[in-house]
Structure 1
Amino acid sequence: MDFNRSILENRRAKGRPFLAAHRGVNGANIPCNTLAAYRIAVDQGADVVEIDVTKSLDGEFFVFHPYMEPVYLKCGKLIPEMTAEEVRNTPLLNQDEVPTHYRVPTLQETLALLKDKAYINVDKFWTDPEGISDQIRRAGVEKQVIVKAGVDESSLALVEKYASDLMFCALVWHKDEVSEMLLERKINYIGTEALFDRDSDEIVSDPYIRWMHEHDLLVWVNSIVYNEAEIISAGHTDDISLTEDPEKGWGWLLDRQVDFIQTDWLLALKGYMEKRG
């Protein structure tokens, strides 16, 4: 990937949607959101690696999904209640809840690992736009980072203030009523993360996606399932693709001509796309 070119140019050159690895590629003894999970994602062909950001009690940024400490650490504390030293000394658990040698990586370690290797979707950016933007610049990965946030005025003002040069993707449910406005803002607006619970939602309609492409904008969709009660792709998921028919999941998303698919099953999706042609 040539990060001196725009993401739009790279998408066109790719000729297929970018594959985004949700929290890296993990399983068995390798926990998610670890340097190992990110290395595997890159090695398996991820175009984008999604990471989550949190901050310790004494202000150091780590890569970990907020509020998942009871699942992956079981240490009785949240990372914002722990010092950086405590975080470094706490083992992550594997899928059987057995302690491993893996530790929660710092944001700087993660950005250094991914530099010049893949686009980086920094999730939870809205929790500290100023501090996280500073970390991104310190690591020298400005051309690789995609940040996301809602489209309320307070969020957009923070993006303009601290991250106007970083690629910005708007979180939008059902219908896009913000793209024209965002194109006028002092924001490096690249497109929407389309969240939908019905096939008929405008945000995944052919006319909408065609309009986005005509305006040099991109559309991100998700096939991940992180909570069965939260429907973000109208059932066109990794699960249905793997357990029933990939045409019902990944195939449906590909037929929409989207630009990113975020998955927890990178190799399976990649193999399906190669077979489908």
Structure 2
Amino acid sequence: MRFAALGNPTYVDINRRLLAAANARTPLVAVHRGQNAGSVVENTAKAVRAAIVSGADIVEIDVIESTDGDFFTFHNGYEEAYFGLDRDILTLSTSELEELQFDLYVSAEAEKYGLERLSLILSSFPETILNIDRSWDYWDRLLPYMDEFECADRVLLKSPVSEEWLGKLASHPVKYPYMPIVKTMQDVELALNWPDINLVAVEIVAASTDCALASPSFVEQLHERNLLVQLNALNLPNRVPLFLGWDDEVSVLDEPEKGWGRLVDHGADIIQTDWPMLLRHFLASRK
């Protein structure tokens, strides 16, 4: 499907890069936390670069804020796994965060490898569309901070749907492209009808076919509104299906048509994956 515009035509200049990507090839491949493998750790500049060379059209990263108000890239909740840290990383100062090292990836002879600032990734990848996740609690401070990088045309924000976060987007003068994570029709109605936000895409979460959002007709309705649809092939640690079990695991270990193929046929404009190179190969072989 080709789009004449995304969302509200008022924001055509901001959305131009994402629109061009969506019309160049479908579905777009969004890589979850960058490509982490071997000695490359997720949510780092190395992971973003690895994702790009693995076929990413969009790279998703997670953002945290130090107690001093500085922004780093990390998914909180993984403190123990990466740092052996029995503490919420969100309670740490900038200096404490900068002391953390990915110990499993650093030997006495190796260069240090720790948390990275969001500024490094924003400045290092000026041609890459970044999907910034888990940042909504900081939007009061994060949005003005990102304004300094003039990156609105290459940043796609996402969040669960709430009046608080939609209000923050609406009140900010720079209209960053936005993708709500919807799980109910109430989520959909709230996001679609909220004024003064640059809604360009919708991420649908549906565990079973009983969910009204799992209907192909719902995807068609979103397309009629000039909105992209993101479907997840991810397998998170809790193993709850994000979209009908049509996921990376079944695609890699069984048959890609049972996972990625179904997402494509369902109308996905963006597929988020942990296996970008294999997904890109499958998409090329399916044409």
1:188 paired to 2:198: yes
Quote the residue 1:112 is aligned against: 123
Contact preservation (8 Å) 1:221, 1:261: yes
Per the normalisation by structure 2, the TM-score is: 0.87
CA positional deviation for 1:3: 7.3
- Moved beyond 4 Å, runs of 4+: 97-100
Q: What is the letter of the counterpart of residue 172 of structure 1?
A: V
1:268 equivalent to 2:275? Answer no
CA distance in 1, matches of 2:191, 2:239: 32
In the superposition, relative to structure 1, how do residues 98 and 65 fare at CA in structure 2: closer, same or farther (>3 Å)? farther
Superposed, 1:4-15 pairs within 5 Å as: 5=16, 7-12=18-23, 14-15=24-25
The question of 1:52 aligning with 2:89 is answered no
Indicate the residue corresponding to 1:147 in structure 2.
157
Give SS of 1:5's match.
helix
Q: Which of the residues 201, 207, 217 maps onto 1:207?
A: 217
In terms of fraction of residues, the more helix-rich structure is: 2
Distance 1:256 1:191 in 2: 16
What is the deviation of 1:184?
Answer: 5.2
Q: CA deviation at 1:199?
A: 3.1
Corresponding residue for residue 121 of structure 1: 131
SS in structure 2 at match of 1:136: helix
Superposition pairs of residues 154-193 of structure 1, within 5 angstroms: 154-162=164-172, 165-175=175-185, 178-179=188-189, 182-183=192-193, 185-193=195-203
What are the ranges of 5 or more consecutive residues in structure 2 without an aligned counterpart? Answer: 1-12
Which deviates more from structure 2 when the two are superposed, residues 100-109 or residues 138-147? Answer: 100-109
* Counterpart-to-counterpart distance in 1, 2:258 and 2:249: 10
Given that 2:152 and 2:174 are in contact with CA atoms closer than 8 Å, whether structure 1 keeps it comes out as no
Alignment deviations for residues 81-136 of structure 1 (CA, whole Å, 9 cap, x no partner): 333223223211448x97973211101111112222x2111101211112111222
Q: Distance in 2 between matches of 1:94 and 1:236?
A: 32
Q: Assess, with a 3 A threshold, how the Cα gap between structure 1 residues 222 and 163 changes in structure 2: closer, same or farther.
A: farther
Unpaired runs of 5+ residues, structure 1, are none
Of 229, 247, 254 in structure 2, the residue corresponding to residue 219 of structure 1 is 229
Letter of the 1:81 counterpart:
T
- Between the two proteins, what is the percent identity of the paired residues? 28
Q: Is the 8 A contact 1:223 1:236 kept in 2?
A: yes
Q: Give secondary structure in 1 for the equivalent of 2:116.
A: coil
The code of the aligned residue for 1:11 comes to A
TM-score by length of 1: 0.90
Q: Which amino acid aligns with 1:10?
A: A
Distance 1:93 1:17, change over 3 A: farther
Following superposition, the deviation at residue 207 of structure 1 comes to: 1.4
1:8–1:216 contact (8 Å) kept in structure 2: no
